[in-house]
Structure formats: structure tokens, C-alpha cells
Structure 1
Amino acid sequence: MRQHFNWQGGNHVELMVDGEAFYPVMLEAIAEARSSLLLEFYFVISGKIVDRFIEALSDACRRGVKTRLIVDGFGARLLSRVDRQRLQAVGAELVVYNPLQLNKLTRNFARDHRKLMLVDERIAFIGGTGLADEYWLSERPGCPWHEVMCKVQGPVVADLVSVFNQLWFRCTSQRLSPPSPQPEVGQAMAKVTTVQGLYQQDIKVAFLNHVNQANDRVWLVTAYFLPSFSIRSALRKAARRGVDVRMLVAGPYTDQFWVYHASKRYYRRLLNAGVRIYEYQPRFLHAKVGLVDDWVSLGSCNLDHWNLRWNLEANLEVMEPELTAQVEQLITRDFEQCSEVTAESWARRPWHRKLKELVWALISQIVLKIK
């Protein structure tokens, strides 16, 4: 079933940067839950962070909070059987989206990449995090990962609950109660947008519409830079008409090295059109944020070929001066920790880098043609 949502006023949206900021707030919200907890996460790996969440969720279950979790069959493959049993033992309902099976063939590529947590259908958390040590406590080089989440209150929360409820019904055939309308609590205009594979591409359509109408700036933050032709074309056209177009992408630290190399095939034409490209250096950039003039979109979607073809995604669009200013400050600080790629330096890169980029670009094209 397709889901389309309208802009809603009266919301409060709080930006939180990196795990040390958002995990404590999320855990505190779980501790204060009184009726329901709905969680939907792609990347879930047993470790210290998962331990903290299981303890908090277990306490909530013991005091009568109805707790439901949807985890992805691939992204949560390293969530141990013991941890799953810990959740189920206290009464939490755990659903695995599209478990991996050999006989499914390419249907195994369809993944739930969304990152949502809904507390009492009153407070929502949305962004790009998973439940894993990589986002806060990891000791690996280049970690913890750089990520953002938002805490959301107001009428738009009901739409995020609807997103969860629809997938719960799809996975379990259990229809949950419709979300209750929420009172206005702030000044932010907000709208939920989703991707459901090739079936529904609202996040991409919204981004393209705003880029095509941009007057001042288009700043895109993405972990995996494999944009569709329509997005690349829109970015080039915006830059040529004088819009400040900048891409903030992952640098040498990444969990998908092939994407890092394959994405380089798009650099030359973008740079020649006037697009500025920044590669983040300190650690893995995992955030997904779009800032077009005063419009902000953030959530789970990287706007890459793979996300848009196979995944379930959820973003929140926001129009609110304070949040826009916070996002602008965040991205500006991140630019300062980047190495900017210029057209001149790109033309001078050595032949062996060009060869590596070509090989991975060809492989990525083959993979993306899989049906």
C-alpha cells in the first residue's frame, strides 16, 4: 500500500549529532515510556549498545509497556540468538523483515533500511543510526561513525507511527490501532517521505523538486555517493545556474570500499559543472542530510541507486528556521574537516587510481542491473 503524507505544522524537531548525544536521549525516552515502544532498525549488532537497549526495553516490558521491534534480516544478522531470546523472554515482540533464504534469490536484496523509534506514539526518533557500537563505543580506526538523529514531537509523529504500523501488518498480518492525533508543540512544519523500492520514490521526487527550484544552495550529505542520473543532472543544472551546490561524502573511512571507488566515476562531470565535492576525513561519515535553501530532509535514505531500487526508507522533511540554522552549522563544521576535490586535482590523479575506479564502477553497474 502506498503511503503519502502531507505537511503538518506545530512540531518540535531537535537535532542530535553522534551517538554520544542521541543514544542517552533515546534510552531516557525508553525509561520514561508508559504505554508503547515501536522500534524499526536496519543495522543491529550485539554489543555494548545493544545490551543497554535490551536492558532498557526489558525494564519497560516489566512495567507493562507494549514493545514491538522490527529488525532487518540482513542488517541484524549479527544480533545474537541470545539477545533475541532476552527480548522475547520479557514479552517484547520481535519481527525479522525478509529473513535471508537461498531460494529467494534476488528477493534477498529487498531490505528494511529505516531507522525509527516511537515512544508512546508521542515522541519519535528518526535518522540514520543503527543499534551498534560503531556509532559510539567502537574502538576501530576512524570510528565511531559520524551520524545524526532527530527527536520529534507534534502532529507529524502520527504519520511515523503509520509507517511502522503498515510494515508491522505486512510482516505479521496483525493490524495495530490507528495512531492518535498529537497536539501542536512547536513551530516546525514537517512531512514524512518514504521509499518503497521502485514502487514508491517520494524521497527522491521531493529532493529533485527542491533542487530544480533552488535559488541559493544545495548541500547534500551522503555516506554512499551513487546517485541516479536524474539527481546528477539536477545537481549539474543547479550549479550551472549559479546555485551553491556542494556534496559532502565519505572519505577514506568507509564500510563499503567498493562504493568509495565506484562513486568516483561521477566526479568529473559534476566538478566541471561547478559542483564542489568534499570528502570527510576524520571517520566514517554515515549521515544522510539534504539542505536546499531553507528546506531540510534527513533520515535513512542515501539517494543512491541501491537504496532507491531495493530498500524501505523513511525521511523527515522540515521547514523551520532554527533547525535550518543548526543543520547549516553542522555541515559547515564538517566541511572544515574535509579534503575538497577540485577539477584540477582530479584531472591529475594517478593512472592506478583511475583503473581502480573504472573496475569498481563497472562492477557496480553489473550489480545494479540485477533484477
Structure 2
Amino acid sequence: MRQRFEWRGGNRVSLMVDGECFFPQMLEAIEQAHSSLRLEFYMVSSGKILDRFIQALTDAVLRGVDVRLLIDGFGGRHLARADRERLRAGGVQLVLYNPLQLSKWTRNFARDHRKLLLVDEHKAFIGGAGLADEYWLSQRTGCPWHEIMCEVQGPVVEDLACLYNRLWLRCSGQALSPPSAQPEVGDARMRVTTVQGLYQQDIKVAFLNQVNGARHRVWLETAYFLPSLSIRTALRRAARRGVDVRMIVAGPYTDQFWVYHASKRYYRRLLNAGVRIYEYQPRFLHAKVGLVDDWVSLGSCNLDHWNLRWNLEANIEVENPELTAQVEQLINVDMEQCHEVTAEEWSRRPWYRKAKELVWALLSQLVLKIR
């Protein structure tokens, strides 16, 4: 069943940049929960961050809080068996989305890529982070990953709860009580948008509509730059009619090196159309945020071929001057830490780089043909 949500007024939203900011606030919210906690995360890996979440969640159970955790079957592959047992022994109801099985063949590609925390159904955290040390404590090259989350309150939280409840029912067979209506607490207009594989692509449609109607700017940060033809065409057209189009993409640090190389096949035509492309240098850029004029979209979706083909995704669209200003400042700061790729520079790159990009681009196209 298709599930679409309408714009809602009366919300409050705040932007949190990087794990040292959003993890403490998420943990504090869990510690203050008194009735229910609903968590849905793609990447969940054993480590120091997860230890803190396990402790906070099991403590909440002892206070009488109903705690439920949805983890993707692939994204949770680094969750140690001992930690799964700690969660279950502590009273956390743990469910896996689409556990990996050889007999499923290509159905194993379908993943739950959403990142969501609901606290007592009156506060939500949504963005692109996982419960993993890579977002804060890892000492690996390119870490900590650069990521954002948002804290949300108001009527839109009811829609996020509905989204969670529907997937919980699908995965566990257990129906949860319908969420209660939330009072207006601010002045932000917001809407929940989703992707459900090829079945429903509201995030992509909303972004295209905004880009096609853009008057001043289209600024996009994305970790994996493999945009669809319709998105590439819309970006080029916007740049040609004088819109300030800028793309901030992952630079030398990435967890998917093949995407880094395959994405380069799209640079030439975008650069020639006037699109400005920036590669983030200090660490892995994992954030996903779009700013079109004063409209903001952020969440879990990278707008790449793979996300739009196989994944469950969740974003929020926001119309709010304060958040727009925060996102504008974030992107401006990030651009200062980027290398801008120019059309002249791109035309002079050596042949072996072109060959590598071609090979990975062809392989990526083959993967997308899998049924």
C-alpha cells in the first residue's frame, strides 16, 4: 500500500552536525523517555557508541519503557551476537529487516536504509547516521564520517510514527497502537517523504519538482553521486537558465571506492552546463541534504541509482527560515573544505583515470540491470 504524507505546520526542527553533537542529544532523549522508544537504523555495529545505546535502552526497559529496535539485516551484519543477546536479555524487542538468505537471490538487495529514533511519540531524530563508531570515535582514515541529524517535534512526528509502525507490522506481524496527534510547537512547515524501491519514489519526485522550479540556487550534498538521468537533466537545465547549482560529493575518503570512480562519468556534461562540483577533502562526507531556494530536504536518501532502486528511505522536507539559514551555513563551511573540480581541469585528467572511471561506470550499469 502506498503511503504519502501531507505538509503539516506547527513543527519545531533543529539541525545537529556530526556525531559529537547528535549522539549525546539522542542518548539524553532516551534517558528521559517514559513510555516508548522506537528505533530504526540501517547501520548498527558493535563498538563504544553502541555500548552506550545498549545501556541506555536496557535502562529504559527497567523504567517500564516499551523499547523496539528495527535493524536492517545487512547493515547490522557487524552487530556482534553477544550484543544482540544483551539487547534481548535487557528486554529490547529486536527485529531484523530482510535477513540475508542465499535462497532469496536478488531480494537480498532490498534494504531498510532509514535512520529514525522516536521518543514517546512526541520527539523524533531523523537523518543519515548509524549506530556505529565511524560517526564519532573511529580512528580509521577518513573518520569520523561527516553526517547530520535533525531533532523534530510537532505534528509531523505522528507521520514518522506511522511510517515506523507500518514497517514493524510488516517485519514482526505485530500491530502497534496508532500514534496520537501531536500539538503544534513551532512555525516550521514539514512533510515526510519516502522511497520504497521502484514502488514509491516521493523523495526523488519532490526534489525534481523543486529543481525544475528553482529560481536562485540548487545546492546538494550527497555521499554517493550516481544520479538518475532525470536528476542529471534537471540539474543541467537549472544551471543553463542561470540557477546557482552546486554539488558537494565525497572526495578521496569513501566506504564505496567503486562509486567514487563510477560517479565521475557524469562530471563532464554537468560541468559544461555550468554545474559547480566540489569534492569534500578532510574525511568521508556521508551527509544527504538538498537546499533549493529556501526549501530543505534531508534524511537517509542519497538520490543515487542504488538507493532509488532497492532501498526504504525517509526524508523530511522543511520550509523554515531558521533551518534554511543553518543548512546554508553548513554547506558554505563544507565548501571551504572542498576541492572544486573545474571543466578545464577535468578535461586534462590522464587517460588511466578515464579508463578506471569507464570500467567502474560500466560495472555499475551492469549491477543496475539485475532483477
Q: Give, in angstroms, the shift of residue 142 of structure 1.
A: 1.5
Q: What SS does structure 2 have at the residue aligned with 1:138?
A: coil
Q: What SS does structure 1 have at the residue aligned with 2:247?
A: strand
Match of 1:363 in 2: 363
Q: Give, in angstroms, the shift of residue 164 of structure 1.
A: 0.3
Match of 1:184 in 2: 184
| TM-score, scaled to structure 2 | 1.00
The answer to whether 1:194 aligns with 2:194 is yes
Q: What SS does structure 1 have at the residue aligned with 2:242?
A: coil
Give, in whole Å, the separation in 2 of the partners of 1:142 and 1:102.
33
Q: What SS does structure 2 have at the residue aligned with 1:183?
A: coil
Match of 1:73 in 2: 73
Unaligned 5+ segments in structure 2 are none
Q: What SS does structure 2 have at the residue aligned with 1:200?
A: coil
Alignment of 1:1-371 (within 5 A): 1-371=1-371
Aligned amino acid, residue 112 of structure 2: D
Give, in whole Å, the separation in 2 of the partners of 1:208 and 1:33.
38
Give, in whole Å, the separation in 1 of the partners of 2:74 and 2:20.
26
Aligned amino acid, residue 207 of structure 1: F
Q: What SS does structure 2 have at the residue aligned with 1:51?
A: helix
Name the count of aligned residue pairs: 371
Q: Give, in angstroms, the shift of residue 218 of structure 1.
A: 0.3
Q: What SS does structure 1 have at the residue aligned with 2:54?
A: helix
Root mean square deviation of aligned Cα: 0.4
Aligned amino acid, residue 82 of structure 1: A
Q: What SS does structure 1 have at the residue aligned with 2:263?
A: helix
Q: What SS does structure 1 have at the residue aligned with 2:345?
A: helix
Unaligned 5+ segments in structure 1 are none
Give, in whole Å, the separation in 2 of the partners of 1:90 and 1:330.
39
Q: Give, in angstroms, the shift of residue 238 of structure 1.
A: 0.3
Q: What SS does structure 2 have at the residue aligned with 1:298?
A: strand
Give, in whole Å, the separation in 1 of the partners of 2:122 and 2:137.
29
Give, in whole Å, the separation in 2 of the partners of 1:210 and 1:179.
30
Give, in whole Å, the separation in 1 of the partners of 2:76 and 2:168.
17
Q: Give, in angstroms, the shift of residue 259 of structure 1.
A: 0.1
Deviations 1:136-177 (CA, angstroms, capped at 9, x unpaired): 001011210000000000000000000100000111111111
Aligned amino acid, residue 251 of structure 1: G
Q: Give, in angstroms, the shift of residue 179 of structure 1.
A: 0.6
Give, in whole Å, the separation in 2 of the partners of 1:172 and 1:17.
33
Deviations 1:1-52 (CA, angstroms, capped at 9, x unpaired): 2110000001000000000000000000000000000000000000000000
Aligned amino acid, residue 131 of structure 1: L
Give, in whole Å, the separation in 1 of the partners of 2:281 and 2:27.
30
Give, in whole Å, the separation in 1 of the partners of 2:323 and 2:119.
22
Give, in whole Å, the separation in 2 of the partners of 1:116 and 1:142.
25
Give, in whole Å, the separation in 2 of the partners of 1:83 and 1:90.
10
Deviations 1:290-324 (CA, angstroms, capped at 9, x unpaired): 00000000000000000000000000000000000
Aligned amino acid, residue 220 of structure 2: L
Give, in whole Å, the separation in 1 of the partners of 2:79 and 2:340.
37
Aligned amino acid, residue 101 of structure 2: Q
Give, in whole Å, the separation in 2 of the partners of 1:367 and 1:207.
25
Q: What SS does structure 2 have at the residue aligned with 1:224?
A: coil
Overall identity of the aligned pairs, in %: 78
Give, in whole Å, the separation in 1 of the partners of 2:145 and 2:91.
32
Give, in whole Å, the separation in 1 of the partners of 2:54 and 2:174.
24
Give, in whole Å, the separation in 2 of the partners of 1:29 and 1:70.
18
| TM-score, scaled to structure 1 | 1.00
